[in-house]
Structure 1
Amino acid sequence: MTKPSAPRRHLPTSPFAAPVVPVAKEFSLGDRVTHDQFGLGTIIGVEEGIAMLVDFGSRQARILSPYTRMDRL
């Protein structure tokens, strides 16, 4: 089994822009949210910094951090 590789460092002399790391959004238990794929939902579980468990009515989904496709209402 291979070990996960470390992210490549950005060289200051590189002609390419440095990679941008998205900042994780913050949600709390009971927040109403909207998701690009699943629609409207409510946060029913929190795994700090890792994932949110969201009830979308017809299904429950575990949404992983940084929650780029999910917004608070």
Structure 2
Amino acid sequence: MPQFELKDLVSHDKYGLGSVIGVEEGVAVIVDFGSERLRIPAPYAKLCLL
């Protein structure tokens, strides 16, 4: 499972490019996609680091 840190740039299959604004280790990440902010729970299947 990938490890995310604040300000990491990420890509999501549905929402596109975003920036990590919150990390709940091993539980979820909060990502700002510009038009919306989403809490994405582990295991982050559709989220990848850029």
Query: Normalized against structure 2, the TM-score is what?
Result: 0.94
Spell out structure 1 runs of 4+ moving beyond 6 A: none
Aligned equivalents of 1:68, 1:27: Cα separation in 2:
13
Provide the residue aligned with 1:68 in structure 2: 45
Q: Secondary structure at the match of 1:61?
A: strand
**Structure 1 residue 45: deviation in Å?**
0.3
Provide the residue aligned with 1:9 in structure 2: none
Correspondent of 1:37 among 10, 14, 33: 14
- Tell me the percent identity: 52
Gaps of 5+ in 2: none
Q: Per chain length, whose mean CA-contact separation is higher, i.e. which structure has more relative contact order (CA < 8 Å, sep 6+)?
A: 2
Q: Secondary structure at the match of 1:46?
A: strand
Provide the residue aligned with 1:53 in structure 2: 30
Aligned length: 50
More strand, by proportion? 2
Of the two, which has the highest radius of gyration? 1
Q: Secondary structure at the match of 1:29?
A: coil
RMSD: 0.6
What is the identity, as a one-letter code, of the residue corresponding to 1:29?
L
**Structure 1 residue 25: deviation in Å?**
1.5
